[in-house]
Structure 1
Amino acid sequence: MSRIQYHHCPLCGSADISRQLTATDYTVSKETFDIWECGACTGRFTQDIPALHDIGRYYQSAEYISHTETREGLVNRMYHSVRKITMRSKENWVKTASGVKTGKLLDIGSGTGAFIAHMKKLGWDVTGLEPDAGARKNALDLHKIETRSIEDLFQLEPAQFDCITMWHVLEHVHDLHGYLDRIHQLLKPGGALLIAVPNYTSTDARIYGRFWAAYDVPRHLYHFSPRSMDLLTHRHGFRIAARHPMVFDAFYVSLLSEKYRSGKDSLVKGGLNGFRSYWKAWRHVEKCSSIVYECKIAE
């Protein structure tokens, strides 16, 4: 298996990098991976990640909800119970950021297609790109919506989308800079990019350390801080116009993290830690477990 070892930060290129912790892949392989941090941009990254053509097997799990829609286990049942609420939030963010009630939407990493199916019902002209063939089949079976291969990202006509969304996708992308450059080309003037990513500087990340579920090695190649997102998006011609908290992620991630730490589901401990993180994020978005970055093309 081919591995990628970084000698410079994959986010900003600095050589000021150092190992911070070791995390475990609890979902598939039970292997451990080191996580390093950049002293320049404060971004983190997983070291010795599988190369693009080798990482597919780390997604082959019935528990990987974005591909399978599983409802097995307490955490996945909670995810489904709040999805209608989060879907409405996503809908509002898209409309506000793009400035249009209906338009053309590109969702990168569309999984089983629930979000684009929702937006299509609202009148949006939607395109979904998804690398996993099984997830694309599930999108067709579950939502009667046809999504396209991720390779089509570089075949689309430029300057055609009012909004492009990446809901917990950017942390998975090997070609990080190539994707962001391409997204810049695909947006209409005045269009918006919405990026949701976990925040390793959040309260729940501090509580759980190496057991923090949102490290999700090796599928999560990068681990973002607010500062690293500012610098990364600016490098690719964007400015961050707003930040929005994904408040329910604190509970979802804390419940899963507690399971990793203790070996069993704990609604009480995980819920309490989720509430602590939620409370901090209510007053300080930069402490949220996951943040949605609303990006506009810089003038």
Structure 2
Amino acid sequence: MITTEKKYSTQIQDEPKLVCKDHLVTGEEFQISEYENGILRTKPVPSDLGKYYESENYISHSDSKSGLQDKIYQLVKSHMLSKKAKWVRRYFKQGDILDFGAGTGEFLNKMKKFLWNVDGVEPNKTARDLAILKGLNLKPDLSELRIKKFDVISLWHVLEHLPDLEKKIQEFYDLLNEDGILIIAVPNHRSYDAEFYKEDWAGWDVPRHLWHFSREGLTEKFYDFNFELVDEKPLKFDSYYVSLLSEKNKNSSTNPLNAFYRGFVSNQRARKTGEYSSIAYFFKKTPKT
């Protein structure tokens, strides 16, 4: 069991810590401000968030392998699917799993091979259509799954996108079986690569990323909703990929050598501090008190 003390700040400053640019679609600037201890938020939140995902370069909604960046992403994703399945099966060899923000469905397809019963939610229609080609009928929202219960719910780089953060955490709690596991993978704004690239760090990804978490902030937030942190897994490839994107944000061109160096340094420092670029957290549902 991993334990943390609750350390919520009683005085949260509303002054922006950073001003970051949307490098993917509009070039608009957004503020990063403190929300709770260890949790930052993007301001303002656009009323039309959907348009900020309308880009051929938003790779999680496609299976593209056309460019170097796409090929690297898809290669790493394929490798990580096996790791993710192994992590899940440490808790349950088989069962019912919900992947929230399932993208084009690769992770669920992997779990089907281990004879899991799979369900997925993916708001983006383009991604859902690609999942259909793989035999997966993803739902656009949670409303169609209210009567079901799951042994595992996973969000692989999805929580940071959710406008209604607290509401969704409660819904995930209600959808889990007793002793169910909730897996949350998010960027870590206290990693070395985040500190080095500052406002150009690709992990900010404003305004698509509405929330920005530290290890302490995320753990404390889920503790409030009766989730106990039982494990963390570093996503070591993320430091390299995020650094590659950050180089482009900073210098208007990718520099693979610099990106590899910064990613390597980030992982090396994290071996001592635990502050990896991205981390997968494993929370166990506990009874409400």
**Does TM, normalized by the shorter one, top 0.5?**
yes
Instruction: Report if the CA contact (8 A) 1:64-1:70 is conserved.
Output: no
Summarize deviations over 1:206-231 as a string: whole Å, max 9, x none. 11000000100000000001111011
* Cα drift, residue 173 of structure 1: 0.4
1:16 CA displacement: 3.5
1:107/1:179 Cα in 2 relative to 1: closer, same or farther (>3 Å)?
A: same
- When residues 117 and 14 of structure 1 are mapped into structure 2, their CA distance, relative to the original with a 3 A threshold, is farther
Unaligned runs of 5+ in 2: 1-7
Q: What is the distance in 1 between the residues matched to 2:180 and 2:189?
A: 28
Q: Who is 1:275 aligned against?
A: 264
Identity level (%): 36
Contact 2:82 2:110 in 1 (8 A): no
Q: Does 1:93 align with 2:87?
A: yes
Q: Is the 8 A contact 1:241 1:295 kept in 2?
A: yes
CA contact (8 A) 2:170 2:225 kept: yes
Matched letter for residue 102 of structure 1: Q
1:50 partner amino acid: P
1:267 CA displacement: 0.8
CA–CA distance in structure 2, aligned partners of residues 86 and 281 of structure 1? 19
CA distance in structure 1 between the partners assigned to 2:233 and 2:126 by the alignment: 31
1:63 and 2:57 matched: yes
CA contact (8 A) 1:247 1:281 kept: no
Contact 1:202 1:289 in 2 (8 A): yes
Indicate whether 1:111 and 2:103 are aligned.
yes
1:44-94 C-alpha deviation (Å, 9 max, x unpaired): 11011113xx11010001011111122243332211122222111111121
Out of 284, 291, 298, the residue aligned to residue 279 of structure 2 is 291
How much has 1:131 moved relative to structure 2? 0.7
Asked if the contact 1:12–1:232 (Cα under 8 Å) also holds between the matched residues in 2, the reply is: no
Unaligned 5+ residue runs, structure 1?
A: 1-10
Residue 14 (structure 2) aligned to one of 2, 13, 17: 17
Determine which of 252, 258, 266 is the counterpart of 2:247: 258
Count of residue correspondences: 280
CA distance in 1, matches of 2:232, 2:9: 21
Instruction: Summarize the Cα distance change of 1:15–1:135 in structure 2 as closer, same or farther, 3 Å threshold.
Output: same
Contact kept in structure 2, 1:213 and 1:256, CA below 8 Å: yes
Contact kept? 2:189, 2:212, Cα under 8 Å: yes
Contact 1:165/1:193, CA 8 A, preserved across alignment: yes
Question: Could you tell me which residue of structure 2 aligns to residue 28 of structure 1?
Answer: 25
Which residue does 2:77 correspond to in 1?
83
C-alpha distance 12-140 of structure 1, shift in aligned 2 (>3 A):
farther
User: Contact conserved, 1:74 with 1:265, CA < 8 A, in 2?
Assistant: no
TM-score, structure 1 as length reference: 0.89
TM-score by length of 2: 0.92
Contact 2:38/2:218, CA 8 A, preserved across alignment: no
Q: For residue 187 of structure 2, what is the aligned residue in structure 1?
A: 198
1:50 aligns with 2:50: no
1:12 Cα shift?
Answer: 8.9
2: CA distance, partners of 1:268 / 1:73: 17
8 Å Cα contact 2:12-2:34 kept in structure 1: no
